[in-house]
Amino acid sequence: MVRGVCLVTLDRIGLMSNADIRSFVWPLSGRPLNALFRPCPIFFLSLTLLTAGCERMMPLDTKPLDSAGMNYTAIKQLVALDISRTELDEVAKARNAGFSDEKCIEIVQVYHGRKLPFNVGDTVAALLRAGLSQDAILELAKLNAIGVNIGELQLIRLAGFSDAVVLEVARQDAAGKHVLSGASLSTMKNAGMHEALLLELVRRGVPDSEAPAIIALHRHGAKDSDLLRRYPAA
């Protein structure tokens, strides 16, 4: 309906001659100003709505996705998700960084499932550069963990921890539970503590304030089993 109105309106304007325009405008020139401008608010409101409708009907330029290497089928699937131009640019950033076509579609679906626009293309690219796998990034999106604490997760990955540790920290944080910080985990690892132990401590919700005590116990010869007994699972 909107498209039809847009096209008809543009066609009629294009067909109007100078005489037609004068015949439309001239009778208004003799009217009092208050009478002339009284209908303006309604007119401008209608014009605004019409313009918005026309812009919405304009086809989405998918060249950024094509340039990023996304295949035609995937592009069609994204367009079917009713993505905006801003979202399209964000997807292109993720795709350029190496996020696959399939994962691009899935992560947009995750955001749309929450009624949110996909706006973290740069963050996805940064996580990929940090060495996080595509599956782990998608899982972070499902946890709604791609947000303000993303720098902490990058630090953990860059410190050489596996995706499993990154995801467990994200899960604990998303659940509002205590969690060891990236800095503490890095210090523990540098002190010679095994990742399997650190992962289990994260799962058990050990607060970051306990990190100095854990490191001290380890340096005094405490075994992994001793530490796990000290911090039992809830």
Task: Give, in order, the Cα–Cα distances in Å from 53 to each of 41, 124, 169.
Answer: 18, 32, 45
Tokens standing for 136? 């782990």
Tokens standing for 34? 């208050």
Q: What angle do CA 172, 133, 78 make, to 5 degrees?
A: 100
Tokens standing for 224? 């992994």
Q: What is the pLDDT of residue 1?
A: 46
Q: How many CB atoms lie within 10 A of CB 96?
A: 16
- 59: Cβ–Cβ under 8 A, 6 or more apart, which residues? none
The distance from CA 227 to its chain's CA centroid, rounded to whole angstroms, is 39
Specify whether the CB–CB gap between 104 and 121 falls below 8 A: no
Report pLDDT digits (tens) over 118-141.
Answer: 999 999 999 999 999 999 999 999
Low-confidence winner among 5-9, 13-17, 153-157, 189-193 (lowest mean pLDDT)? 5-9
Tokens standing for 66? 């094509």
* DSSP letter assigned to residue 71: -
What's the rounded mean pLDDT across residues 182-196?
A: 97
Confidence of residue 176 (pLDDT cuts 50, 70, 90): very high
Rounded distance between C-alpha atoms, residue 127 and residue 151, angstroms: 9
30 CB-contact burial (10 Å; exposed 0-12 / middle 13-18 / buried 19+) = exposed
Rounded distance between C-alpha atoms, residue 23 and residue 5, angstroms: 23
- Residue type at 219 in one-letter notation: R
Does the structure show a pLDDT above 50 at 111? yes
Rounded distance between C-alpha atoms, residue 90 and residue 23, angstroms: 49
Most confident of 15-19, 46-50, 193-197: 193-197
| Continuous H helices in the chain | 2-15, 18-29, 33-37, 40-57, 63-67, 72-80, 85-96, 101-113, 121-129, 134-142, 150-158, 163-174, 182-190, 195-203, 211-219, 224-230
